Amino acid sequence: MRVLVTGAAGYIGYAVARRLTAAGHDVDGLTRRDAELPDGVRPVRGDVLDPGSLPSGPYEGVCHLAALTRVRESFQEPLRFFTANVQGTVNVLHAAAGARVVFGSTAAVYGTPERQPIPETEATAPSNPYGASKLAAEQAVRYHARTGAIGAMVLRTFNVAGSVDGRIDPDETRLIPRALAVAAGRAPRLEINGDGLAVREFLHVDDLAAAYVAALEAVGLGEDRVYNVGGGAGTAVHEVVSAVEEVTGRPVPTLRRPPQPEPPVLVCDAAAIRAELGWRPERSALREIIRGSWSALTRSAPNSAGGRSGPRSGRSSGARGPP
């Protein structure tokens, strides 16, 4: 298929574009500025907030990943998040007539449910503007699909981590990147809310990218499906810190902050995508995620192991950061 990936220079978008190309698809990567893209991906300059700049295709597939994703920033600038995540999605949908669309969403749409692991049938109740904006965008995608204009799959991801092509997650507000930054001496300590017993799960970014390929190849026009995508194993925050210390061989000093009103457990039930699309995570063991991220960080960051340049950055859609 000829496929457009929005946000293709971002952390998740890059991995998705890379996987699509490896699967034999003809991929255009939409970026707002010059940026490094995977081999074989054609750069297309445009902005999802500028409809006139979006390529007309025709595309058989669209993976929409361009988004604002930081939960804490969404409380400070909710209108900016709704504009980027909802209006940007509507603009992409106008340009995606007749295409198969895979939309990158987030576990933040669920809020803080008591039922764990969380299935797709759980009621949506976002507790922050980021999650609310992604849920509104989901609804635009799904209602549009029901008209028969597109086919749609929504992928709700939990915590994405890991490295492909030496690229690391640039968002050091998230647990694993922050803990690795402390191990590398780029930050003095890791701040933890409460006792470190909060349980989260982690999905390798390459496993997530494989889910996008499976979804794109499976969806048909008029279809409207939602899947959770997760690694399947919950890990306490203090266990993540211990694993980082074990893999890196370096201490990760921590500072305990007062407990925050956040769920003690957030774990994904990904049974549906496993059963219906045959997708399985293959690289999401916690220590594999940490080893790959640490290797990429120490190669790229001059202050950690004498590498060449700082880590690349980009916007991505997907998981909410753990405490």
> Are 307 and 3 in contact, with CB atoms under 8 Å apart?
no
Instruction: Look at phi and psi of residue 196 and say left if phi exceeds 0, alpha if psi is from -120 to 50, else beta.
Output: left
- Estimate the crossing angle of helix 175-183 against helix 286-300, to 10 degrees: 50
* Single-letter residue type at 26: D
Measured in degrees and rounded to the nearest 5, phi and psi for residue 201 equal: -120, 160
**59 catalytic residue (yes or no):** no
Handedness of CA 136, 138, 139, 140 (dihedral sign): positive
CA–CA distance, 194 with 187 (Å, rounded to integer): 20
HSE-up of residue 206 (Cα within 13 Å, Cβ side): 17
Please enumerate in sequence order all residues whose Cβ is within 8 A of that of 319, keeping only pairs 6 or more positions apart, or say none. 106, 107, 157, 158, 159, 160, 174, 203
Structure tokens at 78: 């909710």
To which H or E segment does residue 203 belong?
strand 199-204
How far is 202 from 281, CA to CA, in rounded Å? Answer: 11
The structure tokens 């306490």 sit at: 236
Omega before residue 129 within 30° of 0, cis: no
Q: 11, 14, 59, 130: which is the annotated catalytic residue?
A: 130
Residue 308 CA to residue 86 CA, distance in Å, equals 38
Q: Catalytic residue numbers?
A: 130
